[in-house]
Amino acid sequence: MRIATWNVNSITARLPRLLAWLESSGTDVLCLQEVKLAEEQFPFDQLRERGYEAAVHATGRWNGVAVLSRVGLEDVVKGLPGDPGYDGVTEPRAISATCGPVRVWSVYVPNGREVGHPHYAYKLQWFEALKAAVSGDAQGSRPFAVLGDYNVAPTDDDVFDPAAFEGSTHVTPAERAALASLREAGLSDVVPRPLKYDRPFTYWDYRQLCFPKNRGMRIDLVYGNAPFAKAVGDAYVDREERKGKGASDHAPVVVDLDV
């Protein structure tokens, strides 16, 4: 079974690439982030023609998450129970579903903007709510994973140059502590292999030739429980999908399971 996560940075802009990638990659379940459209605008028909059901939690031009599956889609939960919300708004940042033998969450963790900004505090609160929401499944006997754009690089090795991020979000001790706390719920980091270079970055800024220079970060993560991690046969970053005109600034992370 092949499961993947991908921040597409607008499904409208990326739809031809998405459809082609689904066909070429043979992915069974795909967690999407930043779909950036309302649910009624989602390309359900195009996906159904290719054998995929879709569960979507999206409200407009920002955020939005989805789960695509060709192995079944049941018990869908939209939103994060206990979501703290930001500025009085509960944003569409989480969705979960059972896909065949596996249960998954697709998550788009708040960016945090700047250290000390209210959005940074919201990010840390959101992590607390995520841990509370997934703890039961994390301890269960069914393969379970939380996949998505976490907007945190777990270690200094997960950024191209730690000095370049000093004082910025995505690398602060508090954010990394939130990740560690999530792992303590019963999840482990399924670290993918890179297809090129020595570190499996998943995100490269569009600016300053970051992709050609490999000035990247690993912020798209797969956190799986013990049965999920035990079933992993391979995991890799599909760096090729970051290339070319019209690419997202994130690459898909692909995990093969023996289930």
> Could you read off the pLDDT tens digit of each residue along the chain, which spans 259 residues?
999 999 999 999 999 999 999 999 999 999 999 999 999 999 999 999 999 999 999 998 889 999 999 999 999 999 999 999 999 999 999 999 999 999 999 999 999 999 999 999 999 999 999 999 999 999 999 999 999 999 999 999 999 999 999 999 999 999 999 999 999 999 999 999 999 999 999 999 999 999 999 999 999 999 999 999 999 999 999 999 999 999 999 999 999 999 9
The secondary structure of 27-88 as a DSSP string is -SEEEEE---SBGGGS-HHHHHHTT-EEEEE-BSSS--EEEEESS--EEEEES-TT---BTT
Location of structure tokens 């940074």: 120
